[in-house]
């Protein structure tokens, strides 16, 4: 994964104050993460955002997850993309109960 992607993951996961700065020790930790760990952290962030009913952050996480899909594996990627689209639709309606059922069962 590129340096820019890991830096973006650090900002999205730990976002700093108004200037979006991330402490250097956190940035270094995130730089060492594998692609899989970043995706798992994004799922965690989505669940936390759903619990907080933070629709804006849920949407951002879903966009990142959609962008991380590898369409060389067409069947799986297409199914996940459709799932993420459904989650965006449900989250835009602020129906977090459906999201909890979907992700926590």
Residues 21 and 61 grouped into a single domain: no
Domain limits for position 24: 1-33
Rounded mean pLDDT, 5-26: 63
Global pTM exceeds 0.85: no
pLDDT at 19 over 60: no
pLDDT at 17 over 50: no
Residue 26: Cβ within 10 Å count: 14
Q: Residue 82, SS3?
A: helix
Residues 76 and 56 grouped into a single domain: yes
pLDDT at 64 over 60: yes
Residues 26 and 44 grouped into a single domain: no
Residues 8 and 58 grouped into a single domain: no
pLDDT of residue 90: 86
How far is it, in rounded angstroms, from Cα 29 to Cα 9? 11
Residues 29 and 39 grouped into a single domain: no
Structural domains of the chain, count: 2
Q: Residue 83, SS3?
A: helix
pLDDT of residue 15: 58
What tens digit of pLDDT does each residue of 78-103 get?
Answer: 999 999 999 888 888 877 677 767 76
What tens digit of pLDDT does each residue of 20-53 get?
Answer: 566 788 778 888 888 889 889 888 888 888 888 8
């Amino acid at each position: 994964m590129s340096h820019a992607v890991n830096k973006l993951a650090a900002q999205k996961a730990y976002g700093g104050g108004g200037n979006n700065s991330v402490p250097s020790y956190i940035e270094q930790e995130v730089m060492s993460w594998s692609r899989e760990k970043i995706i798992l952290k994004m799922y965690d962030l989505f669940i936390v955002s759903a619990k907080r009913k933070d629709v804006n952050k849920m949407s951002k996480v879903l966009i990142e997850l959609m962008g991380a899909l590898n369409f060389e594996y067409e069947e799986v990627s297409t199914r996940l993309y459709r799932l993420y689209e459904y989650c965006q639709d449900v989250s835009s309606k602020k129906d977090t109960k459906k999201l909890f059922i979907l992700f926590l069962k």
